């Protein structure tokens, strides 16, 4: 379960204190910025609400975290990444999976879990361009598979 509530599609990989999350947040019509924009445009806030079209990557490692938007990322690319992960998990062997040039996961099986390391690379021009390597630890294989299936279903 994700410690981040975004309302839109998201794939959360890790634990509550060490994770990466690829997400497309929903726009909340009750947020002050949305209310102001709707008023300025002369439409209801609900017309601004619903699924946003900007993907983001969030990460956390024991209190040190952050995130960034992924302009130009599309649902098809997020789905392809999730499918790549599903296939790699099903093969049961160590693997590397990449989502664009901003996220790389290296994983190896360990009993009924996967030892996962994430490498997060902020996009060019981001305020903090620090590349981070996050040891996400042993993640239960069945839980990862179920989360990927749910994520892909949320994109449909």
* Residue ranges of domains in the chain: 10-155
Summarised one tens digit per residue, pLDDT across range 4-47 is: 445 679 999 999 999 999 998 777 777 787 677 777 777 777 76
Mean predicted confidence (pLDDT) in 141-154: 94
CB 93, CB 107: distance < 8 Å: no
How far apart (Å, rounded) are the C-alpha atoms in residues 75 and 17? 26
pLDDT score at 36:
78
How far apart (Å, rounded) are the C-alpha atoms in residues 46 and 70? 24
Summarised one tens digit per residue, pLDDT across range 58-105 is: 999 888 888 888 878 888 999 999 999 999 999 999 999 999 889 999
- What pTM does this model have? 0.80
Q: Is the pLDDT of residue 138 over 50?
A: yes
SS3 call for 41: helix
Mean predicted confidence (pLDDT) in 124-138: 87
Mean predicted confidence (pLDDT) in 141-156: 92
How far apart (Å, rounded) are the C-alpha atoms in residues 145 and 127? 34
């Amino acid at each position: 379960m994700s410690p981040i509530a975004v309302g839109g599609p998201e794939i959360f990989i890790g634990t509550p204190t060490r994770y990466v999350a690829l997400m497309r947040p929903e726009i909340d019509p009750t947020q002050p910025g949305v209310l102001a924009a709707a008023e300025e445009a002369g439409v209801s806030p609900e017309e601004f609400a619903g699924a946003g079209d900007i993907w983001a990557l969030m990460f956390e490692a024991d209190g040190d975290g952050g995130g960034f938007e992924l302009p130009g990322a599309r649902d098809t690319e997020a789905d392809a990444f999730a499918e790549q992960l599903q296939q790699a998990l099903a093969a049961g062997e160590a693997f590397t999976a990449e989502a664009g040039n901003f996220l790389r996961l290296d994983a190896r099986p360990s009993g009924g879990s996967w030892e996962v390391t994430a490498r997060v690379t902020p996009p060019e021009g981001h305020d903090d361009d620090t590349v981070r390597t996050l040891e996400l630890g042993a993640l239960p294989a069945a839980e990862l598979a179920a989360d990927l299936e749910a994520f892909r279903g949320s994109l449909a």
